[in-house]
Amino acid sequence: MKRVFSGIQPTGILTLGNYLGAMKQWVALQETHDCFYCVVNLHAMTVMPDAEELRENTLSVAAMLVAAGLDPDKVTLFVQSDVAEHAELGWLLQCMATFGELSRMTQFKEKSREKEVITGGLFSYPALMAADILLYNTHLVPVGEDQRQHLELTRDIAQRFNNRYGGLFTLPEPFIPEVGGRIMSLDDPEKKMSKSNPNPNSYIGLLDPPDTIRQKIMRAVTDSGREIYYDPENKGAVSNLLTIYSLCSGKTIEALEKDYEGRGYGEFKKDLAEVVVECLKPIQARYNELKESGNINEILKKGAGKARAVAAPMMDKVRELMGLKV
């Protein structure tokens, strides 16, 4: 069975972008692959979160993943800091990534532009991400489009390691959905929807109550004109809403274009809001049940044990090959 690895940062309430771009694929792949899914709290350290908030968000993100359909009996779900090998390999791969490579990462350029304080961790983040993936001999990494460049760097680092120390690492492939790989902000179709955006009207949170979802969608920016058709170049905002509608309802974009021919943005957005509310309703109900039952800690503990059983022998081989065992 081929191996899948992916991670998600506990940097806030997950958004519809995280769900459609990544989590939906994670759920589908659990039926056919050996999946390792990780709440990457060490990555969240790059923005220096409040300790209590980080703890809360970590549990909440894990519960959300199970609520969205991950079956803890089928997948290995764990917290990154519970498996110390991630940090160790992360450091070693940092020493193999060049300053030039890390400086070219678009996500670093975008994120550092918005911040007053830019930590060293934010810069070297992709080396830790490479470690996460390579520790598990991963074949496939289901991610949103924004992670494509990091995946390419992961492959380059793996190749460099293999050439220098012997072929240990599997070269992973990205698995990015054709539709939904980049869900855009509701207030700016040029920017991706992001959970750490300070404007809550820019995203739909997976825990947003129905009325908040309705308000956010009715307020979402649209384009000039009133026709509803898919044209990401010229009608970015409406194309983004059509993508969300299609993925949440299961209807094709062509069918939606036909349905809304000659009808205005108002009617379209009203229907879209109901579709999103219905899509999130069962996830929210399961999330609330899980948070009350407190089972999530148990799931994560078991997952960490399973992850360690794969990561520890791999790390041992790395130490041996790199001359760290004396």
Measured CA to CA in angstroms, residue 306 lies from 25, 70, 136, 170, 282 at distances of 22, 16, 11, 20, 29
Considering the candidates 2, 192, 281, 325, report the single residue annotated as catalytic: 192
Q: How far is the CB of 262 from ligand AQP (least distance, A)?
A: 30
Q: Is 213 exposed, middle or buried (0-12, 13-18, 19+ CB in 10 A)?
A: buried
How far apart are CB 182 and ligand AQP at their closest, in Å? Answer: 5
Which DSSP string do the residues of 201-214 spell out, in sequence order? GGS-BTT--HHHHH
Bridge partners (DSSP) of residue 11 are none
The binding site for ATP consists of: 9-11, 17-18, 144-146, 183, 192-196
Q: What 3-state class would DSSP assign to 148?
A: helix
* Residues between 138 and 197 with contacts to ligand AQP, criterion CB under 6 A: 143-144, 146-147, 181-183, 192-196
Residue number, 11 or 60, with CB nearest to ligand AQP:
11
Which residues make up each annotated binding site?
A: 9-11, 17-18, 132, 144-146, 183, 192-196
Percentages (nearest 5) of helix, strand, coil residues in the chain? 60, 10, 35
Active-site residue flag, 192: yes
Rounded CA separation 195/132 (Å): 22
Cβ of residue 265: shortest distance to ligand AQP, in angstroms? 22
Q: Quick check: 213 and 207 in contact, CB under 8 A?
A: no
The rounded distance, in Å, linking the Cα atoms of 123 and 312 is 26
Residue 126 vs 181, nearer CB to ligand AQP: 181
Nearer to ligand AQP, 5 or 161 (CB): 5
Which segments within the chain are labelled E, that is strand? 3-8, 34-39, 76-79, 140-142, 173-175
Chain residues 114-143 in contact with ligand AQP, contact rule CB under 6 A: 143
Residues 212 to 241: which contact ligand AQP by CB under 6 A? none
- Single out the catalytic residue among 2, 111, 291, 301: 111
Record the tokens describing residue 57, joined without a space: 């968000």
> What minimum distance in Å lies between the beta carbon of 5 and ligand AQP?
11
Select 27 or 318, whichever has its Cβ closest to ligand AQP: 27
195 assigned to active site: yes
The answer to whether 72 and 299 have CB atoms below 8 angstroms apart is yes
Q: Which of residues 56-115 bind ligand AQP (CB under 6 A)?
A: none
x/- binding map, residues 6-45, to ligand AQP, per CB under 6 A?
Answer: -xxx-x---x-xx--xx-----------------------
> Which stretches of 68-181 are DSSP H helices?
85-94, 99-103, 106-113, 120-134, 148-165
Q: Annotated catalytic, 251?
A: no
Report the nearest approach of ligand AQP to the CB of residue 137 (Å): 20
Active-site residue, selected from the candidate residues 195, 216, 235, 269: 195
Site residues for ligand AQP per CB under 6 A: 7-9, 11, 15, 17-18, 21-22, 143-144, 146-147, 181-183, 192-196
* Catalytic residue ranges: 111, 192, 195
